């Protein structure tokens, strides 16, 4: 197990290195001139320093060479300045990451009980009317464009009814927790709507499988009540592999967060990356994308490790 963990860690580190290169190349191909952008983005640069940097990075120096300079600087902890915010990128991305994680955690906390409940109800009587309705809901969840759902919710709840704010960020300097939650209701609803479909399909399928297994038949034969059987045995059995499904859904949720943050004006990672690319902030886009990749890589790594830990077939080997 330790060997496996180590192996996967080394692998993830390698993947990350490759990703830095690929993303560097891609971002280098965005419109505009990255060196120009870098210079613009650092107010501390005197014209003299700027000239030196031009020499160092060199306009016209091929991308791979620039990559090398960037990489060596990055290894010394220098991730560059944002040309959009005139601050070091890490200073901007730290709070943004926190913001996005809050959004995602809230979504996951809502999605798990909801998908377990709906999945279990659907699995009780496969093919019954409840199952049909819930299955339709799951299909809708994976078919809804989340930017449109956001707009519709804003139109209905913010514009027409006036119940909820259309902005995801409170105006107050130090908003209370209650205010934060109030402003998060619509964005979290959209993300949950988007995330719960795949989860509940998974719960339903694994519940149906467990319910027909010997293990559940034994529990029934012992005379346990149907509720006990479902909640204590079938649901719990379905819960273990759900860890991996959740972790794998992390990347998907991150993608969804980008759209939702953009529409609701939440200063999270997604919006940062989006703005950085739109306004050609080379450093911010690069580090933002790398952070996003790290987050998904780590969640995938955890999923694999959790799977190896939890799945009896593998641990038995």
Partner 1 sequence: MNALVEVDNLNLHFPIDGGFFKEKLTLRALTDVSFSVEEDETLAIVGESGSGKTTLGYAISGLLTPTSGRIKFGAALGGHSQDRPVQLVFQDPFSALDPRMMVGDIVAEPLRLQGVSRAERLQQADDVLEQVGLPAESARRYPHEFSGGQRQRIAIARALIAKPKLIVADEPLSALDVSIQSQILNLLNKIKRDRTISYLFISHDLGVVHHLADRVVVLYLGRIMEIASRQDLFATPSHPYTQALLESVPRISRGRRKPGQALKGEIPTPLSPPPGCVFHTRCPRAQEVCRRQVPELLPAPGRPEQLSACHFKD
Partner 2 sequence: MSAIDTELAGIPSAPRQTIWQLRRKRFLRNKPAVIALAILLVLSALCVLAYPYSLLMELDPNETNLLMRFRPPSAKHWLGTDSLGRDVLLRLMYGGQVSIAVGVLGTLLTALIGILIGVWAGFLGGKVDAFLMRLTDVVIALPMTPVLIVLGAVDLSKLGLSQALASSPGAVFLRIVIIIALVDWTTIARITRAATIEVRQREYVKAATVSGARHLYNVLVHVLPNITTPITVAATLSVGRIILFESTLSFLGFGIVPPTPSWGNMLTNAQELVISAPALAVYPGLLIFLTVISVNFVGDGIRIAFDPRSEK
Distances (CA, A) of 250 to 293, 297, 303, 309: 11, 10, 10, 19
Under the binding rule (CB under 8 A), the answer on residue 314 touching partner 1 is yes
In the complex with partner 1, the residue whose CB is nearer, 4 or 139, is: 4
Q: Which does 193 bind (CB under 5 to 8 A by kind): partner 1, partner 2, none?
A: none
Give percent helix, percent strand, percent coil of the chain, each to the nearest 5: 80, 0, 20
Question: What is the smallest separation between the CB atom of 178 and partner 2, expressed in angstroms?
Answer: 26
Distances (CA, A) of 114 to 25, 126, 137: 42, 18, 12
Question: How many residues make up the chain in this entry?
Answer: 317
- d(CA 317, CA 308) in angstroms, rounded, equals 11
DSSP state of 81: B
State which of positions 6-45 bind partner 1 (CB under 8 A). 7
Q: Which does 3 bind (CB under 5 to 8 A by kind): partner 1, partner 2, none?
A: partner 1
Under the binding rule (CB under 8 A), the answer on residue 313 touching partner 1 is no
Cβ neighbours for 27, distance < 8 A, ≥ 6 positions apart: 34, 282, 285, 286, 289
- Judged by CB under 8 A, the number of residues near partner 1 is 6
Question: What is the smallest separation between the CB atom of 38 and partner 2, expressed in angstroms?
Answer: 17
Q: Which does 15 bind (CB under 5 to 8 A by kind): partner 1, partner 2, none?
A: partner 2
3-11, 51-59, 119-127, 173-181 -> range binding partner 1 (CB under 8 A): 3-11
Under the binding rule (CB under 8 A), the answer on residue 1 touching partner 1 is yes
Under the binding rule (CB under 8 A), the answer on residue 4 touching partner 1 is yes
């Amino acid at each position: 197990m330790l060997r496996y963990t180590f192996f996967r860690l080394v692998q993830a580190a390698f993947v990350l290195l490759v990703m830095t290169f690929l993303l560097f190349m891609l971002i280098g191909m965005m419109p505009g001139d990255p060196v120009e952008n870098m210079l613009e983005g650092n107010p501390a640069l005197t014209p003299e320093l700027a000239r030196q940097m031009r020499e160092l990075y060199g306009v016209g120096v091929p991308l791979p060479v620039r990559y090398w300079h960037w990489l060596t600087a990055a290894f010394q902890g220098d991730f560059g300045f944002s040309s959009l915010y005139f601050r070091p990128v890490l200073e901007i991305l730290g709070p943004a990451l926190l913001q996005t994680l809050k959004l995602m955690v809230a979504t996951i906390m809502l999605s798990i009980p909801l998908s377990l409940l709906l999945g279990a109800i659907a699995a009780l009587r496969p093919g019954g009317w409840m199952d049909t309705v819930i299955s339709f809901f799951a299909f809708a969840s994976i078919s809804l464009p989340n930017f449109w759902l956001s707009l519709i919710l804003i139109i209905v709840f913010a514009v027409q009814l006036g119940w909820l704010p259309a902005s995801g960020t409170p105006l107050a300097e130090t908003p209370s927790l209650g205010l934060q939650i109030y402003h998060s209701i619509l964005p979290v609803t959209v993300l949950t709507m988007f995330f719960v479909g795949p989860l509940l399909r998974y719960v339903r399928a694994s519940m149906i499988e467990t319910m027909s297994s010997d293990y559940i038949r034994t529990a029934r034969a012992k005379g346990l009540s149907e509720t006990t059987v479902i909640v204590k045995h079938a649901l719990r059995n379905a819960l273990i592999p759900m860890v991996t499904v959740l972790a794998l859904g992390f990347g998907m949720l991150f993608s969804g967060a980008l759209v939702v943050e953009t529409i609701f004006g939440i200063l999270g990672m997604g919006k940062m990356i989006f703005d950085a690319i739109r306004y050609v902030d080379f450093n911010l886009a690069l580090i933002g994308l790398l952070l996003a990749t790290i987050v998904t890589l780590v969640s995938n790594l955890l999923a694999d490790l959790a799977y190896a830990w939890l799945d009896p077939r593998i641990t038995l080997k």
